[in-house]
Amino acid sequence: MILRDNYLEKIKVFINKPVIKVITGMRRAGKSYFIRQIIDYLKKEGINKNQILYINKELLEFDFIDDYKDLYKFVKNSFKESENVKYLFIDEIQEIKKWEKAVSSFFAEEKYDLYITGSNSNLLSSELTTLISGRYVEISIYTLSFKEFLKFRGKKKVNKYEEFMLYLKFGGFPVIHNFNLDEEVTFQYINSLYNTIILKDVISRHNIRNIRLFQDIVKFIFSNLGQIFSSNSINKYLKNQRKNVGVDTIQNYLSFLEASYMIHKVQRYDLKRKKLLELYEKYYLGDIALKNALLGYKDEDISGLLENIVFLKLKLANYNVFIGKLDDLEIDFIAEKSGEKMYIQVAYLLETNQTREREFRVLEKIKDNYPKYVLSMDNLPTSNYNGIIRMNIIDFLLN
């Protein structure tokens, strides 16, 4: 098993602590894999296997657990009565009706160390979730970063640029490494995964009837990575296609996709007025391979793909991420965490004076002392220009 060490370090501090560990993320991002990693860690720390119970609702053997009563009864029957801590792992818990009642009861007994996973952000937004409010910590799992991608590749010596171009094309779903990155097989798998997420986590869950219209909206988002737009923009696009749909419906569809972790919304922040803006935002994918598998990989899309990869890197590092607005200029990312802040511009290549002027000018206008980066694919050493760090994007991702 290849360890995803960064997540294990995040969760170690909460093991045997009186909080429910809620592990969230898109399907096939590696949540089940991570649970097995935690279980292996516990066993190495001397925890007896009889103290550990793993329930995976994607397995048919647990299909009989339909609601919180079934869950409570099964767990109670599975563990022997003892004073030892019981380690309970429940994978894809959203498939169990009113699961919060059972989990809240286990928590109240103070004999369980609880770990649950879910592939839908609404997992923590239902009325019943008030039963565990204030008693949980959420750990978000993302698909492989480029650093992890190299680890999964398992090569001792690599050409970083060649490997990054593979990452740019095939993304970070862990399971693709079982296919040796064969293009036909890999994209066939990712298309199947896309259909599973769309059908199971969005269309079926939210009872969407106009599936063709919904798919058109998905393709619009995928085609506009790194572009600012709004629900009205999508509405106008659909009207040009002679398809009528209300803005409210579009907003609902976007929220359903966000809940499945297939897309992430990034709001704009006005640096002068120091406030978030309500209109016009960007959307990034939970993994860029979804776009490449659905619409095909094209060189002209590389700028949006690069932005998407940097965004996921920042989220993995626990940053809050915004788009910056300064007068009529845009900053690709403002990243904030624990009083830290950095500004980032992402470009494919800085080949022309016009491109360099565009990327550096807005950062030069920001007068605070937080780090400022211009990231690109140019094969040049890291440099400093008027306090702005110009860095190769691959080096940034690996640092």
Q: Which tens digits make up the pLDDT trace of 37-47?
A: 999 999 999 99
CA distance 203 to 207: 6
Give the model's pLDDT for residue 25: 94
Are the beta carbons of 329 and 160 closer than 8 angstroms?
no
Give the model's pLDDT for residue 176: 96
Phi, psi of 111 (to 5 degrees): -120, 0
Angstrom CA distances, 335 to 118, 154, 371, 373, stand at 26, 31, 10, 11
Which of 141, 142, 118, 138 has the alpha carbon at shortest distance from 309?
142
Give the model's pLDDT for residue 221: 95
Q: Where are the alpha helices (DSSP H) in the chain?
A: 5-12, 31-44, 68-78, 99-109, 146-153, 160-170, 183-196, 204-206, 211-223, 231-240, 247-259, 289-295, 302-316, 353-364, 393-398
Specify burial of residue 277 (Cβ count, 10 A radius: 0-12, 13-18, 19+): middle
Helix axes 211-223, 231-240, angle to 10 degrees: 110
Paired sense of beta strands 340-346 and 372-376, if any: parallel
Give the model's pLDDT for residue 399: 85
Distance, C-alpha 1 to centroid of its chain: 22
Give the model's pLDDT for residue 2: 84
pLDDT per 10-residue tile (average), the chain, 399 residues: 89 96 94 96 96 96 97 94 91 93 94 94 73 88 97 90 97 95 95 92 91 93 92 91 90 94 96 90 96 92 96 96 95 96 96 91 94 96 93 95
CA distance 28 to 32: 8
SS3 218: helix
Give the model's pLDDT for residue 127: 62
Give the model's pLDDT for residue 384: 93
Q: What are 175's two structure tokens? A: 């399971």
Which of 228, 209, 218 has the alpha carbon at shortest distance from 266?
228
CA distance 20 to 42: 16
Angstrom CA distances, 222 to 15, 208, 302, stand at 38, 19, 13
Prediction pTM value: 0.94
Biggest alpha carbon–alpha carbon distance for the chain? 72
First-to-last C-alpha distance (Å) of the chain: 24
